[in-house]
Chains A and B, each alone.
Chain A
Amino acid sequence: MLDKILAKVENTIIVGALLSSVLALMVNIVLRYIFKSGLIWAEEYARFAIVWLTFIGASVVIREGEHLSVGIVMELLKNRKAKVFVEKTGILLALLFSVFLIVFGGQLTVETYKLGQVSPSLQLPMWTVYSAVPMGGLLTSYRFIQLLRRKT
């Protein structure tokens, strides 16, 4: 149940980010050529949307079992125990890195919030953009824990 809701939320965010950014750029081109004035913020918006897509999408990639890795070792190893060991170690390393993203991404978000930096065009507080990182860390941690607990 939780998984289903989470998947829906994730999909909505990443598809929304992709579609809205392509739309912003398209509108910008049309405005520039027909009305001689563009959306100053379109570029910046597209960048931030794709950053969000990337970090939230990282979790979706794991959900879909599509993260890229050098899997050849798994084929070369014949011993089942050795296989399990290598696979679980790989996932454990990934989980550790996700926790790193939560802790230090969170720290970066908080620091940026305290320093009050805003984006040049949208005047958006930069911490809202940076928060994509700890958020992505949180979601990927959840996915890696799922993988770790899965029977092989």
Chain B
Amino acid sequence: MIAFVFVLLLAMMLMTTPIYVALAGTVTVVFALFSDIPLMIVIQRMFAGINKFSLMSIPFFILAANVMSYGGISKRIIKLANILVGELPGGLAMTVVLASMFFGAISGSAPATVISVGALLYPALLEKKYGEHFSAGIVTASGSLGIIIPPSVTMIVYGAITGASVGALFMSGFGAGVVFSLGFILYAFLYGKKHKAVITTQTYTIKEKIKALKDAAWGMGIPIIILGGIYSGIFTPTEASAVAVFYALFVALIIYREMTVKSITQMFVRSSVTTAQVMILLSAASIFAWLLTSEGATTLLASSMLQFSSHPLVILMMMNVIFLVGGMFIDGASLIMILVPLIYPIATRVGIDPIHLGIVITVNCAIGMFTPPFGLNLFVASGITNKPLSFISKSVLPFIAISMVILIIITLFPSLSLWLPNVIYK
């Protein structure tokens, strides 16, 4: 029966129907065929899946990031990143990674990061004679830092399901994000060394450097507000996201002053559309998760995994495989909604730290953002580069390989991500 569920889901997806329809539609068909449960359950669970206060931070972090982005933060961040690493071999490519990191600290979403950084830097990379595949690849993959560096929609969903501290998850995201970035920066450096032509010639005066730092610093106030506010107990993670919106509005409207009435309206509509796009998927993922739970998939998965081994590392590695395969087809936040209720009880039973688990899962979802055939980063990258999906899918291959190595490192060494919350909360 569970096999039938997944075959039907895959078939519907391949018919290019919207994924939310594929997920919720599969459940509807299964209930109609195999049980006498009234079909209203589908509606009720879709509703209940998003009627959660902890999920309210998703729209607000999306809005805050858009305010900064429309308000002019992207180019300031890029300038700062370029000043810091631009003169090194592969400097402009490193700039992409660093700028994605900075933007990730404002945005909770990976595709938003791809758009904000990629739209400006992809043409610049081509101009500096970086290869088309390399340029598209680094822009697409680096965008995933958007969900590893806090704030992160993925971590919020994980926290909402498991009750794990979103504050601790956010702080652990920093360590993991730095490791992830270093992997890409190293690759950019080697690529730059090999293709000697790609070295930036632009230099900046001290005065310019200080101004760039000051300009970008306003935007970088957002992570400080979010983490500081949550840590000091002034507000909950969800409320922190609302505060971030007001702070972003302040910076955009009072400090940067680049927005027009028209762009403000457009920004609000865009934010609402992105919110609906994410939330309707979560809603559908929630009923899909309910089907799996009530059909006993939890017990089934637990017994088959534990039969194999009960060593935490082996369990984590098996989870990595499950999430990577799932991530090829479904959006990360929805995947967490579906898989975490099944996996979490097993993980805690074998003694895996819930925060470490959250970070490993987040990194998996971050990679899933650019693994073909389905990945939000792939889609938006295809948009900003004007290349077909098949082209982008090829471009990201080396980055997928690097990410696998990083994923294994992060899985094997929990302390890489856990040191910050351990310092702060103890």
Determine direct contact between A and B, CB below 8 Å.
Answer: yes
A residues near B, CB below 8 A? Answer: 11, 14-15, 17-19, 21-22, 25-26, 28-29, 33, 43, 46-48, 50-51, 53-58, 60-62, 64, 66-75, 86-87, 89-91, 93-94, 96-97, 100-101, 104-105, 107-108, 111, 129-130, 132-133
Is residue B198 contacting chain A, with contact meaning CB distance below 8 A?
no
Is residue B53 contacting chain A, with contact meaning CB distance below 8 A?
yes
Which residues of chain B from 335 to 383 have a CB within 8 Å of any chain A CB? 372-374, 376, 379
Do B43 and A101 touch across chains, with their CB atoms under 8 A apart? yes
Do A53 and B276 touch across chains, with their CB atoms under 8 A apart? yes
Is residue B322 contacting chain A, with contact meaning CB distance below 8 A?
no
Do A60 and B40 touch across chains, with their CB atoms under 8 A apart? no
Do B268 and A18 touch across chains, with their CB atoms under 8 A apart? yes
Do B40 and A90 touch across chains, with their CB atoms under 8 A apart? no
Chain B residues contacting A54 (CB-CB under 8 Å) are: 50, 275-276, 279-280, 283
Q: How far is the CA of A39 from the CA of B276 in the complex (A)?
A: 26
Q: How far is the CB of A78 from chain B (nearest CB, A)?
A: 13
Is residue B130 contacting chain A, with contact meaning CB distance below 8 A?
no
Q: How far is the CA of A56 from the CA of B331 in the complex (A)?
A: 21
Question: Can you list 18 pairs linking A and B with CB atoms under 8 Å apart?
Answer: A14-B273, A15-B272, A25-B239, A26-B242, A53-B59, A53-B275, A54-B276, A66-B273, A68-B374, A70-B13, A70-B16, A72-B389, A73-B15, A89-B17, A90-B17, A93-B17, A100-B28, A133-B46
Chain B residues contacting A50 (CB-CB under 8 Å) are: 50, 55-56, 59, 275, 279
Is residue B263 contacting chain A, with contact meaning CB distance below 8 A?
no
Q: How far is the CB of B333 from chain A (nearest CB, A)?
A: 12
Is residue B230 contacting chain A, with contact meaning CB distance below 8 A?
no
Q: How far is the CB of A146 from chain B (nearest CB, A)?
A: 15
Do A93 and B281 touch across chains, with their CB atoms under 8 A apart? no
Q: How far is the CA of A54 from the CA of B279 in the complex (A)?
A: 6
Give the interface centre of B18, B234, B276 by most chain A CB atoms within 10 Å.
B276
Q: How far is the CB of B107 from chain A (nearest CB, A)?
A: 16
Is residue B42 contacting chain A, with contact meaning CB distance below 8 A?
yes
Is residue B390 contacting chain A, with contact meaning CB distance below 8 A?
yes
Do B14 and A46 touch across chains, with their CB atoms under 8 A apart? no
Give the nearest-CB partner of B284 in chain A: A97
Contact with B50, one of A51, A61, A94, A130 (Cβ below 8 angstroms)? A51
Q: A22-B242, A25-B238 are in contact. Are A70 and B44 (CB under 8 A)?
A: no
Is residue B246 contacting chain A, with contact meaning CB distance below 8 A?
yes
Q: How far is the CB of B263 from chain A (nearest CB, A)?
A: 14
Q: How far is the CA of A88 from the CA of B185 in the complex (A)?
A: 44
Give the nearest-CB partner of B62 in chain A: A18
- New A-B contacts (14) at CB < 8 Å, excluding given A14-B272, A68-B19, A93-B21: A18-B275, A19-B268, A33-B234, A57-B280, A60-B269, A64-B273, A68-B20, A69-B22, A74-B16, A90-B18, A94-B18, A105-B43, A108-B44, A133-B43
Q: How far is the CA of A65 from the CA of B411 in the complex (A)?
A: 38
Is residue B60 contacting chain A, with contact meaning CB distance below 8 A?
yes
Q: How far is the CA of A28 from the CA of B373 in the complex (A)?
A: 43
Do A29 and B16 touch across chains, with their CB atoms under 8 A apart? no
Give the interface centre of A68, A89, A91, A129 by most chain B CB atoms within 10 Å.
A68
Q: Which 5 A-B pairs have the closest CB atoms?
A: A57-B276, A72-B373, A14-B272, A25-B242, A90-B16
Is residue B221 contacting chain A, with contact meaning CB distance below 8 A?
no
Is residue B415 contacting chain A, with contact meaning CB distance below 8 A?
no
Q: How far is the CB of B342 from chain A (nearest CB, A)?
A: 22
Q: How far is the CB of B318 from chain A (nearest CB, A)?
A: 25
Give the nearest-CB partner of A73 in chain B: B14
Do A133 and B16 touch across chains, with their CB atoms under 8 A apart? no
Give the nearest-CB partner of B52 in chain A: A47
Q: A75-B390, A94-B21 are in contact. Are A60 and B56 (CB under 8 A)?
A: no
Q: How far is the CB of A111 from chain B (nearest CB, A)?
A: 7
Is residue B277 contacting chain A, with contact meaning CB distance below 8 A?
yes
Do A57 and B44 touch across chains, with their CB atoms under 8 A apart? no
Chain B residues contacting A108 (CB-CB under 8 Å) are: 40, 43-44
Chain A residues contacting B390 (CB-CB under 8 Å) are: 72, 75
Chain A residues contacting B56 (CB-CB under 8 Å) are: 21, 25, 46-47, 50
Q: A15-B268, A18-B271, A70-B374 are in contact. Are A58 and B280 (CB under 8 A)?
A: yes
